[in-house]
Amino acid sequence: MEPVRFGILSTAAIAEHLIGPLRQSPLTEPVAVASRDGDRAAAWAARHGLPVSHASYEALLADARVEAVYVPLPNGLHGAWTRAALEAGKHVLCEKPLTASAAEAHDLFALAAERGLVLAEAVMYRHHPQTAAIGRLVAERLGPLRALHAAFHYPIDGLDGDVRARPELAGGALRDLGVYCVSALNLLAGGEPRTVVGRARLHAGGVDVGFAGLLSYAGGVEATFDCSMDGALSLGLTVVGADGTLTVPNPFQPGRPAIWAPRRCPAEATLTTADGEETVALPGGDPYRFEVDDVARAIRGQGGFTVSAGETVGVLRTLDRLLAAA
């Protein structure tokens, strides 16, 4: 399979997580980066061994060498630049959340389908084999679902000056961190919630710096989550069934001990049933590598997995409802 040639639309910090896998994978080849600051783009390209840098996003989209674009821009810019990339004939891998609303995402997926292009939201944990392993454990060992809880708290240094604290850029804890929780809850519960309750704790700039939600799903399954951008590092997933409980300490950044201390987030889960408690080993590996490989295969028509339009829009619709409720 010929490697998919990627261009990176900005030098945002999250792009540092993806450039390594893009370079290491035999299925992808990063060929260009763009920034509104030409010197910054050139320095970033030199540091990461990219042959081309562009001093504008428009120039990268016009570059015939670029087949696919990775969009790591602030949330509020995802929709406009994803649309611009699709209109330029490029496949798109866009950071989560794909857009600031479900309606905008629906329109972008329709445009991608019309153009015969792959549009994928970069929810990297969904590509990791740990996520599939959790799904199997829940289905095979827990019995009918009763309740779920997810949490993702990540302290952001210098939050007052961070783009994630700017409401005009669709910032806030729910979109930045809660999106993982809602994604996992919807996935395990089998769809979108019937009703939601949301509570936000606001930052001085107006975005939600902390968020908590209660989601009620079909079959009487109740779920809760909490997230924040100023709380101590904490994340996890608990699934309660009629026959047992599964606790996963690191559901959203599997295989990344450099970020999450191994003692805090080991690659394992705890399964508790009437027979006792057991530790279940979970798969390892870099979620970003699984993500780029899957998206590349999808672009080449080789069957790679991408999060479906229905799943992405469903999660965004749930976020819309939670924000409205709060």
DSSP string, 190-253: TS--SEEEEEEEE-TTSSEEEEEEEEEEGGGEEEEEEEESSSPSEEEEEEEESSEEEEES-SSS
Residue matched to tokens 């674009």: 69
Q: What is the CATH number of the domain that holds 69?
A: 3.40.50.720
Q: Is position 320 within any domain?
A: no
Same-domain check for residues 147 and 204: yes
How far, in Å, CA of 4 to CA of 297, rounded?
9
Q: Is the pLDDT of residue 199 over 90?
A: yes
Same-domain check for residues 136 and 183: yes
Residue matched to tokens 């390209």: 45
Q: Is position 308 within any domain?
A: no
Distances (CA, A) of 142 to 131, 181, 191, 239, 271: 16, 20, 18, 8, 9
Same-domain check for residues 112 and 173: no
Q: Give pLDDT tens digits for 108-120.
A: 999 999 999 999 9
State the pLDDT at residue 38: 96
CB 319, CB 194: distance < 8 Å: no
How far, in Å, CA of 9 to CA of 57, rounded?
6
Same-domain check for residues 116 and 156: no
Q: Is the pLDDT of residue 261 over 70?
A: no
CB 181, CB 205: distance < 8 Å: no
Predicted confidence band at 205 (pLDDT cuts at 50, 70, 90)? confident
Q: Is position 301 within any domain?
A: no
Of the candidates 42, 48, 2, the residue with the CA atom closest to the CA atom of residue 23: 48
Predicted confidence band at 258 (pLDDT cuts at 50, 70, 90)? very low
Its sign, for the CA torsion 313, 12, 181, 91, is: positive
Longest dimension (CA), the chain: 62
Residue matched to tokens 């290491």: 24
Residue matched to tokens 């996935």: 187
Q: Taking residues 221-234, report their average pLDDT.
A: 95
Domain that holds residue 92: 4-123
| Burial class, 45, CB count within 10 angstroms (exposed 0-12 / middle 13-18 / buried 19+) | buried
Q: What is the CATH number of the domain that holds 210?
A: 3.30.360.10
Same-domain check for residues 139 and 52: no
Q: Is the pLDDT of residue 255 over 80?
A: no
- Domain end, chosen from 78, 106, 123, is at 123
- Number of structural domains, the chain? 2
Same-domain check for residues 161 and 97: no
Predicted confidence band at 267 (pLDDT cuts at 50, 70, 90)? confident
Same-domain check for residues 169 and 104: no
Q: Is the pLDDT of residue 159 over 70?
A: yes
- Domain end, chosen from 95, 123, 151, is at 123
Residue matched to tokens 């309740």: 147
Answering whether pTM is above 0.75, one says yes
Q: Is the pLDDT of residue 174 over 80?
A: yes
How far, in Å, CA of 319 to CA of 301, rounded?
31
Q: Is position 188 within any domain?
A: yes
Residue matched to tokens 């999450």: 260
Indicate the range of 75-89, 248-262, 304-318 predicted with least confidence.
Answer: 248-262
Q: Taking residues 142-162, report their average pLDDT.
A: 94
Provide CB contacts within 8 A for 98, sequence distance 6+: 78, 79, 82, 105, 108, 119, 121, 312, 316
Percentage of residues of the chain with pLDDT beyond 70: 97
Predicted confidence band at 302 (pLDDT cuts at 50, 70, 90)? very high
Same-domain check for residues 85 and 211: no
What is the SS3 assignment for 268? Answer: strand
Please give the DSSP secondary-structure letter assigned to residue 302: S
Same-domain check for residues 115 and 154: no
How far, in Å, CA of 166 to CA of 171, rounded?
5
Q: Which residues are annotated as catalytic? A: 96
Element (H, E) at 61: helix 57-61
Q: Is position 306 within any domain?
A: no
- Domain end, chosen from 106, 123, 140, is at 123
